[in-house]
Amino acid sequence: MSSTPTFTLNNVRKVYSNGTTALHDLNLTINDGQFVSLLGPSGCGKSTVLRLVAGLGKMSSGQLIWGSNARNKLAFVFQEAALMPWATVEDNVRLPLKLAGMSKAASDAAVAEAIAMVDLTGFESCYPRELSGGMKMRVSIARALVTKPEVLLMDEPFGALDEMTRSRLNSDLLDLWQQKQWTVVFVTHNIYEAVYLSNRVIVMAARPGRVVADVAIEAPYPRTEEFRTSPLFNQYCREISACLSRAANHHKEPFSESPSPRANMVDSVA
């Protein structure tokens, strides 16, 4: 795994106009090719982090430092598929290229490739109303991939799906990540999903949000269904659950030692 930073957030603070402090002195570095999950209590600023990185909001103070030209090759997958109901799968996927001024003829190959990557070949002419929830999310992912990104920001994209569909999309996403070697930052509330997907899990404290633990998931890829039921998987889930419990109750007791040598707890959270 590369040690070259894709981007670094230094002492980032975000205060909304109503006075709510969403982030306070948040520090985080994401390296090229990593799959990093952000995990924490509701309202801890996970989605805010993604939006700041994507340029969809302004930080109140601090710095976002890009390590390469990856900032120009960034794609965002939101919680909701947000497809145009009047447009076919093909036209929904084509939208970013159309907005960039690319002609249909010039974009046909990229659209077909993106649809194939999410296993929707044959559904190009279907409308969103004809698709399942999982298929709609695949269209949303294809729409992000059609721009050939290097950085993929994903804001809890599978949260509304049933467990079977979610599990299948987790595996499909990992396969694509290994093929394309993207840098992925993935927001989730699901510990099991975070451990299965990631090589790092970042735990954030309740508002104001900041990083309180950085857990390396030292399990090889590709990850199979056997990994989900392994002792190592269960151990990581327990460790991260302990980190989350401490993050949610940070105002009751200060952070001290890590629950595990692999879990790097950040001390400046009292």
pLDDT in tens, the chain (270 residues): 668 899 999 999 999 989 889 999 999 999 999 999 999 888 889 999 999 999 999 999 999 999 876 677 899 999 888 999 999 999 999 999 999 999 999 999 999 999 999 999 999 999 999 999 999 999 999 999 999 999 999 999 998 888 999 999 999 999 999 999 999 999 999 999 999 999 999 999 887 888 999 999 999 999 988 999 999 999 999 999 999 888 777 544 443 334 444 556 553 333
For residue 247, the model assigns a pLDDT of 76
What predicted TM-score, i.e. pTM, was given to this entire model?
A: 0.89
CA angle in degrees (0–180, nearest 5) for 7-11-15: 110
For residue 256, the model assigns a pLDDT of 36
Start-to-end C-alpha separation, the chain:
33
Q: Name the residue with tokens 């396969």.
A: 175
Q: Is 228 strand, coil or helix?
A: helix
For residue 5, the model assigns a pLDDT of 92
| Closest to 174 measured CA to CA, from 184, 164, 188 | 184
For residue 269, the model assigns a pLDDT of 34
For residue 264, the model assigns a pLDDT of 61
For residue 186, the model assigns a pLDDT of 97
Q: Which domains does the chain have, with CATH numbers?
A: 5-73+149-265 (3.40.50.300)
For residue 1, the model assigns a pLDDT of 61
For residue 43, the model assigns a pLDDT of 83
For residue 250, the model assigns a pLDDT of 59
Q: Name the residue with tokens 């030209």.
A: 69
For residue 252, the model assigns a pLDDT of 44
Residue 99 burial (10 A CB sphere; 0-12, 13-18, 19+)? exposed
85 token code pair:
């109901």
Q: Do residues 108 and 116 lie in contact, with contact meaning Cβ atoms separated by under 8 Å?
A: no
For residue 221, the model assigns a pLDDT of 93
